[in-house]
Amino acid sequence: MRPHRLPVAVLIVVSGGLLATYFLNSPRAVLEFDSQNSLGTPTYVGAAKEILQGHLVSTGRLPGYPLLLALLGGGGGFFTLVVALQCLMFVAAVLLTYLVAWRAFGKRWIALLLGLTLATDVYAAAYAKEILSESLALVLVSGLLAAVVSFTIRPRASAAWLIAALATATTFTRPEWILLPLALALYFAVWAVRRPMPRSVLLHGLAATGAAYALVALYIAGNAVFNHFPGTSEINNISILGKVMQYNMQLEAPAQYRDQALIVDQYVNVSHLNVWHVVTENPAFAADHYQLSGAFGRTVLLADPLKYARYSLDIAFTHNADVDRPLLHLAPNGPFRLELSGLAHYTAFRYSFYWLLPAFALLWAFLPLLSRRSRSLDVLGPVAAVALYGTLIVSFGGFDEYGRYHMVYLPAINLLVWGTLLLNVVIAGRASAVLGPLAPALVIGEIAAVIVLTMAPSVGLSVLLTIVAAVLQGLLAWFGLAEPVPAARPSPEPQAARTRG
């Protein structure tokens, strides 16, 4: 651990310094609630109060973050301990990013730089003041990444249960992550086909996945019994209606929903207001846990699933660089406003490189499965699986605030995007004689594509970039990191032969 003391200390100082600077500018906790998001901080506080009263299941908010609020006094409006813990969560996520990067790339300088990408991310740090679930979800996903990396290096039953525990905790913190345990189980099942694991580990992995969904089923049953809602969160019904409005598909509803379709269309094409206005201004859409909103949305989307899939995949390719600017609260007359504003602009510029995420996530998800040869970079496989899951579930299920959704798995994004770009430096140094200028030329081409896409976003160009970058980066990694074959030594001549000569 001694070689890591300096980079770890640097990351703690930088991330802690960013938090301190942000709090000096505006020291108060931020309670998010407004007319366009009636399900912000107050619903978390309300769920915490219900937990304190003995009600562990809720139709609104999953229990992960409300339980944290209840334990630390947030249910009574005391947020000091909550904010302090969220600051520690941010620093912990930075250090976990460093750990995973070190395990993957084996270079302290790469691990330090990847840790700094999160330690200097003012948008991610800003959530430490928000009474929202993102800070908890961030540290849970960061811990999950460390767990899957450990399991990849040495498959064992204890690591499988740890992965299941962290994935389940994430599921009970953010509703969109409910399929994460299943996604990881399927990925490691394919992994086991290519790289056999002990049977006992596979059985424990299956049992851990079953236990995760047994808890989910128990929660759903509790909601059905006590709240007459057979689901995890009624917010899912709102999200489905939000997707219909985002894609302007409301008039494609069947005749039975004609009246509702006309109401929704008024909000989409006349008043240009979002789904929160629909459900707060029209009681029918909010009644019975937003049942009408969900039924209407599902009917429309399932009537044309190809259109829904096409639009959602467009989002998966074009919204990875989104920045959640409204949740960065800088006091106009507070100290360090200019410095923090400048850092925010730098962070937003750095986010533009996330256009490369689909290419690099697909690359690292599949590359370890193509070879039975073990190498440290294999750990990026499950990291890419987490990032792909997050990207797809957000694209197919979320209807706005994509920067906010992406923040939860930001460590995985940084590991894949910036880790791959930095890896090209290593490849260029190791295989310069073989590859020549290919590595730097590829990086320059990727940077140029990012600049073009930032200035003129395009789905077609993004898809083309994804295909080309994934293929070229894959070839570069495959050949540039291949172990050199040692030259055969000439066999020594027999003593008798030399004597005759």
d(CA 320, CA 90): 21
Q: 430 vs 69, which has greater pLDDT?
A: 69
Reduced to 3 states (helix: H, G, I; strand: E, B; else coil), residue 352 is helix
* Residue 92 pLDDT > 90: yes
Nearest to 104 by CA among 140, 137, 164, 148: 148
pLDDT classification of 497: cutoffs 50, 70, 90: very low
Reduced to 3 states (helix: H, G, I; strand: E, B; else coil), residue 225 is helix
* Residue 437 pLDDT > 80: no
CA 457 to chain centre: 22
> Tokens 């990444």 map to which residue?
145
d(CA 391, CA 386): 9
* Residue 484 pLDDT > 50: no
* Residue 273 pLDDT > 50: yes
> Tokens 């979320």 map to which residue?
398
* Residue 102 pLDDT > 70: yes
pLDDT classification of 501: cutoffs 50, 70, 90: very low
Contacts of 135 (CB under 8 A, 6+ apart): 86, 89, 90, 127, 128
- The secondary structure of 297-335, three-state, reads HHHHHHHCHHHHHHHHHHHHHHCCCCCCHHHCCCCCCCC
Average pLDDT over residues 169-193: 95
d(CA 291, CA 149): 41
pLDDT tens for 44-59 read: 999 999 999 999 999 9
Look at residue 433 in the predicted model and tell me its pLDDT: 57
Asked if 354 and 320 touch (Cβ cutoff 8 Å), the reply is: yes
> Virtual CA dihedral for 202, 208, 212, 213, nearest 10 degrees?
50
pLDDT tens for 13-23 read: 999 999 999 99
